[in-house]
Structure 1
Amino acid sequence: MTSTVELQKTPRIIWEKLPDDYILPDDPVDNISQPLLASALTEALELSGLVTPEMLIAVNMGICVKVDSKIVLKAPDWFFVPRVFPVADGTIRRSYTPHTEGEVPAIVMEFLSETEGGEYSIRPIYPYGKLWFYEKIIKVPTYVIFEPDSGRLEVRQLGQQDYEIQSPDGQGRYFIESIGLYLGVWHGTRLNLTTHWLRWWDEQGNLLLWGPERIAQDQQRIQQAEVKAEQERQRAEQEHQRAEQERQRAEIAQQEIVRLQELLKNAGISQEEN
């Protein structure tokens, strides 16, 4: 039986990369929507030019560390590291070890499904609950738990020791300081999937768009520009027609003056006498 002393002792943490021959688990995702939710978050950042080479944004990649001589590996549905150390050309990251390979992940997200995945688990002994692992061992500043079916979003921010649940702003969004954006819930359709999605907004309240939305927006702008150009062409044509009418009226008036002058001349009346 595990004693209280064993539960409360400080674990010995070694920030050690996984061995090259370590066999990673090949567990299927709990829900087909999870990869779509994750890729949508990344796509909006990439298309907005907010992803830089020194960052790491990963989906279902293992965050690993050795605790009390045992390898602990957790694979969040999405996580973000502001700065990582470069790898050799051609090297593909199989996992990520904080401190050894770069900074601690600034944001970790877990998407809930019908299958309990330990997202709220505070199990303090091996293999450790996810919440405990992110809070006490890795010390991830921002932990997000999202349930897409209901749209329920929870954001936890690491205090001096424990996570503190954050409150949303008036729009139901949370400002994520490490990435300088607001995170919130949006209901709609993407890739033929209608559900609740996590979306980013900038500090001015502008939604960061996905690829199809950007295309639609560009098409709308092109259509608006074409309409404006056609309106300008019509206005120019109308101005040209008005100018032509004025020219014709002036020409007729001049012809009338010439005709009257000719009549006066034929009648023997000089213009000076008038």
Structure 2
Amino acid sequence: MNFQPYLLRKTFHPANYSPDEVFIATDMNLYSDVRHTGWYKHPDWFAVVGVDRLYEQQDMRLSYVVWQEGINPFVVVELLSPRTEKEDLGQTLRKAENPPTKWEVYERILRVPYYIVFDRYTDQLRAFQLTGSHYRELELIESRIWIEDIGLGLGLWQGSYEGIERLWLRWYDRNRNWIATPEEIAKQEKLRADKLAQKLIDMGIDPEEI
């Protein structure tokens, strides 16, 4: 199992949007062209801001259909593999009768503001921002990109997630602190509770009596 999309999901908390105004998808069909309703792309991870978390505020989505939703994805992340690398990086030429490539869909049809690609085999992170009608590659400092519109940054973090130690792609806040996952928050709270309990015991107080 590829845990990377789940770490992205658990740490994506835009500063200026409530959780109910954010939709996040992993390996979900993304339909972009009402003239060709059978055409879709399958991003590894994408997020839409300013849209209801639930479809029509009541149900989970099985796909994301932009002409029904009215709001395009704000950021797309593709995790490169040797099989998909050329298409993900816009290096694939297509025949006129074939559906557009991922790059063409994100850049020209959906006009996704931020497109991120991460190669876990080489640990290379690349980020593209839509400028005018084309993507412009951003110069990254310390393998990080700051996105002011959502008050979040994305970068490479060295650490252990799901028992795997490596470089991971995850979100960070304005103070350059990595956004904690629910599991990390629970662990931190338990450590604080244990320290407090031990302090009370050292003072001769039974924690259960408080």
Task: Please report the TM-score for the alignment, with normalisation by the length of structure 2.
Answer: 0.80
**Counterpart position of 1:39:** 6
Correspondence 1:31-180 to 2 at 5 A: 32-33=1-2, 36-45=3-12, 52-66=19-33, 69=36, 71-84=38-51, 87-88=55-56, 91-117=59-85, 118-122=87-91, 123=93, 125=96, 126-169=98-141, 171-180=142-151
1:222 aligns with 2:193: yes
Higher relative strand content? 2
Structure 2 residue runs without a partner (length 5+):
205-210
Does residue 200 (structure 1) correspond to residue 168 (structure 2)? The answer is no
Question: Could you say if the C-alpha distance between residues 167 and 54 of structure 1 is closer, same or farther in structure 2, counting changes exceeding 3 Å?
Answer: same
Q: Distance in 2 between matches of 1:185 and 1:69?
A: 37
Pairwise mapping of residues 15-30 of structure 1 onto structure 2 (< 5 A)?
Answer: none
Give the CA deviation at 1:227: 4.6
CA shift, 1:112, in A, is 1.0
Pick from 136, 150, 155: which aligns with 1:184?
155
Kindly state the Cα deviation for residue 40 of structure 1 after the two structures are TM-superposed. 1.1
Higher relative contact order (CA 8 A, sep 6+): 2
Q: CA RMSD in A?
A: 2.7
Distance 2:187 2:61 in 1: 35
Q: Distance in 2 between matches of 1:223 and 1:178?
A: 39
Aligned length: 198
Alignment identity in percent? 28
181-190 or 154-163, which deviates more: 181-190
CA spacing shift, 1:153–1:88, aligned 2, 3 Å: same
Cα distance in 2, alignment partners of residues 70 and 227 from structure 1:
62
TM-score normalised by length of structure 1: 0.63
Corresponding residue for 1:209? 180
Contact 2:155 2:169 in 1 (8 A): yes
Return the offset for 1:84.
2.5
Larger radius of gyration: 1
8 Å CA contact 2:32, 2:105 repeated in 1:
no
